[in-house]
Structure 1
Amino acid sequence: MLRFALFATVLAFPCAAQANPGASAGMRISLNIPEICQLEASIASVDPESGVTTGDVFEMCNASHGFRVIASHRTLAAGETARIVYAGQASPLAPTGLTEISVRQSPVAKKVPFVVQARGLREELAISLGITAL
């Protein structure tokens, strides 16, 4: 799980303490909101006979510029195939071990379903989901 954040700062600039009798007083405040993104996955079931795994991922990111969801895994050998259906979008897993599976264009906080289907695996396949900024 990849997490990143920018820390918030609040700056206040008070006006002069001795203003003219007709002048208005005030202050200017600037606020930077921290950018926080995270994924939390929960696996509901694994069927060893069919090679199907199902579960949910909670996506939370307040970045206004959006983000990509990336699946990383071991390299796939010849004859091994796997695909992930993430939030209704199917993506075959790349043999290289890094696959973009979703793009979000705006802030989000929601739970999305996933299904992983694998065939011909010679050894276990662990998939790690992460976020990269757009």
Structure 2
Amino acid sequence: MILVYFILDLLLALGITRAQLTALAVVSRNDYSKNIWSLGPATNFSIIRPINSLDPKEVVHSYLADTRVISKNKDEKVFEGSIRVSIDRRQTKLDRVDSTSDTQILYEQLRLHFKELCTRHNELQRLRMQELHPRQFIDNSQSLF
């Protein structure tokens, strides 16, 4: 199953800003760094939510300065890798991948499958809306002729 999230809806539901969400992603376990031991996403969220800044780096720095974090941050993590990728948007450039490699072929198959699932999801959403509001769709279709 694939879930598609719309960022604005997610931010509204959580009651946070884009900077706070980015900071939460930086300090929680991800591909570039682990979270501080015993500080998982829920605790990180409770620490980050009251930090008011529109700059995700400032949110991360305020998070790291929080007493609850300082007491647990024995390894003195600063999340350099996560900041570099998630905030600065700098990644290590890979050499050109052979388009016939097994990995590349698998990636292309997965990409096409995901695209197909998104199309089917959108069609199901449209059909659900049509079922919920049939009059609106009838009126719209009549106005086209």
* TM bucket, shorter chain: under 0.3
**What TM-score do the two structures reach when normalised by structure 1?**
0.20
**What TM-score do the two structures reach when normalised by structure 2?**
0.19
Q: Which has the higher contact order (CA 8 A, sep 6+)?
A: 1
More strand by share: 1
More helix by share: 2
Larger radius of gyration: 1
